[in-house]
Amino acid sequence: MFFVEDPEERTGTLILRGWVEGDRPGRLRVRVLRTVGRHQAPPQAVSDAADVHAAVQAWLDELLEPDG
């Protein structure tokens, strides 16, 4: 079974891979991979929860752009 995307439908993928390193401050590491349509953004590495939230918000904003 395979699915054909509707050309009018806007799609995207967001992958977050997170891990914790040691017992020190700033130990959170998250790799962010995102696409919208056929556009793939460069991988992003963040180490703060606020930066993870910002990356998710940026992806949603891009996905919701009317002329993307």
Q: Nearest-CA neighbor of 12 among 55, 53, 51, 52?
A: 55
pLDDT at residue number 24? 81
CA atoms within 13 A on the CB side of 21: 9
pLDDT at residue number 22? 86
Write phi, then psi, for 42 (nearest 5 degrees). -60, 150
Where does the pLDDT of residue 2 fall: very low under 50, low under 70, confident under 90, or very high at 90 and above? low
pLDDT per position as a tens digit, 15-57: 999 999 988 877 999 999 999 998 899 999 999 999 999 999 9
Measured CA to CA, the distance from residue 43 to residue 34 in angstroms comes to 7
Helices (runs of H) and strands (runs of E) counted in the chain: 1, 4
